[in-house]
Amino acid sequence: MAIVRKLISQSTVDGPGNRFAVFLQGCNIRCAYCHNPETQAMHDDEAHEMSVVDVIRELEHCVPFLRGVTVSGGECMLQPEWLTELFLAVKRLGQIRNHPLTCLVDSNGTIPFSHYPELMQVCDGVMLDVKAWDEAVYSRLTGAPSNQVVRENLGWLLGCDKLTEVRIVCLSGRVDVETILENIAETFDSIGRKAPVRLIRFRPQGVVGELSNHPMPSDEQMNNYARFAHELGLGVTIR
């Protein structure tokens, strides 16, 4: 059983193509810009326990229209065994229907993927949030002491070709966007492989606390980041 916040049968913002998205309840960090803070607690009145079979039942009639499934959160890697079981079932369903489905994870990268080889066997890729590079910046933003594991995950996922996308939520003053981009470029160079980078504009909708009235970065600011990334040889898109 997993604690599921919600299911979306048609999503175009959770990875390539049209995807079925599963949002798990519970997160292990507290980002100041989190736009669904209600998913942070491990339990919530609006989340329910669901078995893999329950999810597959909802997924079944959507199969022909989908490229795959993405599990997001909260932080879905807090429930890794269930995730493995779900992906196995999704792959099986795709096989039976003769319609292969890809399985992606959307994660904050605080749990080492290398510890879950069985999961990584059925997971086609990870969309990794790199929230900050400098440890102090990261701590201030997320309340977590260290981002060592996130950095390791970046290299490890790239090394085994499971890095679908790197995501950076851009918010000037609170996120060291340029430093992140420099270090991503360095990691890509050292491993000799690249992954797409997505620059996500901070949006105050849903945010509670100190950033709830913080303005969005301007188009110009976003374009500057993109240009900077481009100069580093990174392939970026802005959302």
Point out which residues bind ligand SF4 (CB under 6 A): 27, 29-31, 34, 39-40, 73-75, 108
Looking at the DSSP bridge assignments, the partners of residue 128 are 107, 166
Instruction: Return the residue of 6, 7, 16, 149 that touches another protein, per CB under 8 A.
Output: 16
Indicate whether 67 belongs to the interface with another protein (CB under 8 A). Answer: yes
**Least CB distance to another protein at residue 132 (A):** 26
CA atoms within 13 A on the CB side of 30: 10
**Residue of 7, 42, 62, 137 interacting with another protein (CB under 8 A):** 62
Binds 12, which of ligand SF4, another protein, none (CB < 5 to 8 A, cut-off by type)? another protein
If the CB atoms of residues 23 and 156 are measured against ligand SF4, the closer one turns out to be: 23
206 touches another protein by CB under 8 A:
no
CB count in 10 Å sphere of residue 198: 17
Binder among 1, 65, 146, 218 for another protein (CB under 8 A): 65
Calpha distance 21→105 (Å, rounded): 10
| Residues in the chain, total | 239
Distances (CA, A) of 7 to 54, 77, 117, 136: 11, 17, 26, 35
Q: Supply the angle between the helices 219-231 and 177-191 in degrees, to the nearest 10.
A: 30
Which CB sits closer to ligand SF4, 105 or 232? Answer: 105
CB of 74 to ligand SF4, least distance (A): 5
User: 17 contacts which partner out of ligand SF4, another protein, none, CB within 5 to 8 A by kind?
Assistant: another protein
Binding segment for another protein (CB under 8 A), chosen from 7-15, 34-42, 47-55, 169-177, is: 7-15
Which residues are CB-contacts of 69 (< 8 A; sequence separation ≥ 6)? 19, 20, 21, 22, 59, 86, 87, 90, 101, 102, 103, 104
Q: Is 146 in the site for another protein (CB under 8 A)?
A: no
The entry of ligand SF4, another protein, none near residue 218 (CB within 5 to 8 angstroms by kind) is: none
The least CB distance from residue 110 to ligand SF4, in Å, is 8
Q: 73: closest CA among 130, 21, 126, 24?
A: 24
Which has the closest alpha carbon to 179: 239, 137, 212, 124? 137
39 binds, among another protein, ligand SF4, none (CB under 5 to 8 A by kind): ligand SF4
- Dihedral-angle region of residue 199 (phi above 0 means left; psi in -120 to 50 means alpha; beta otherwise): beta
User: Could you tell me the smallest distance in angstroms from the CB atom of residue 26 to ligand SF4?
Assistant: 9
Tokens 């260290």 belong to residue = 146
Residues at the interface with another protein (CB under 8 A): 9-10, 12-13, 16-19, 61-67, 99, 239
